[in-house]
A = this chain, B = another copy of it.
Amino acid sequence: MARVGLNTERLTAAGAELADEVGFDKVTVSALARRFGVKDASLYSHVKNSQDLKTRIALLALEELADRAAAALAGRAGKDALTAFANAYRDYAHEHPGRYAAAQLDLDPETARASAAVRHSQMTRAILRGYRLAEPDETDAVRLLGSTFHGYVALERSGGFQHTPRTAEDSWTRILDALDALLRAWPAA
C-alpha cells in the first residue's frame, strides 16, 4: 500500500488551498481526504478533529497575513505605512479568500493569545506611532483602523458594493486618505 506521506503540516497547507478554492466553510475532513486519495479516517492521526483542522488553517492564515503586513510596513511611516498595511490586508483577502475567512475564525482566548493575532495589533500600533496619539486615543484609533479594514473587506467580498458605478478600488483609496486626515487631526475628547 503506497503511502501518500501525510502529516499535520501538509494537511493544513492543503486545507488552506482547498479553502481558497471552495470556501472555508466547505473545508471538511472528508473533502481533504478525497483530495489526497485517502480515507477520511486516515486524517485523524494527524489532526484531532474537524475543529482542530480549521483552527490550524486559521493560524496559518494569521501568520501569512502578519508576515505580509510586516513586509509592507518595513521602512515606511505615516500615511505611507498606513496605505501599505491596509493594502497588504486587503490584497491578501482578494488573493486568498478562503484563508482570509479562516483568519476570522473565533479562536478560544488561549489560542488567540499565542497566535499571530497579537502581531497584528502591534503592527497597527506601530503605524499609529507616526501620528503621535496619546492613550487612550491610540487604542481607540487601533480599533477604528482594525474595524474599518476588516469591515471594508467583508462588505466588499459579500458584494455589498456592486450596486453603484463607484468602484471598490476608488472608494478604498479615498477612505485611506480620509483616515489619514482623521488621524492627523484626531479630535480632542
Interface of A toward B, CB cutoff 8 Å: 104, 106, 109, 112-113, 117, 121, 135-137, 139-141, 143-144, 146-152, 154-155, 158-164, 166, 168, 170-171, 174-175, 177-178, 181-182, 185-187, 189
Contact = CB atoms under 8 A, between A and B. Distances in A.
B189 A159 contact: no
A137 B174 contact: yes
Contacts of A163: 113, 121
Contacts of A109: 159, 162
A135 B166 CA distance: 9
State how many copies of this chain the complex holds: 2
Contacts of A186: 178
A160 B178 CA distance: 24
A156 to B, nearest CB: 9
Contacts of A154: 104, 147, 150-151, 154
Nearest to A143: B171
B171 A181 contact: no
27 contacts: A106-B159, A109-B159, A109-B162, A112-B159, A139-B166, A139-B171, A140-B170, A143-B152, A143-B161, A143-B175, A144-B148, A144-B171, A144-B175, A146-B155, A147-B150, A147-B152, A147-B154, A148-B148, A148-B151, A149-B151, A150-B151, A151-B151, A178-B186, A178-B187, A181-B182, A181-B185, A182-B182
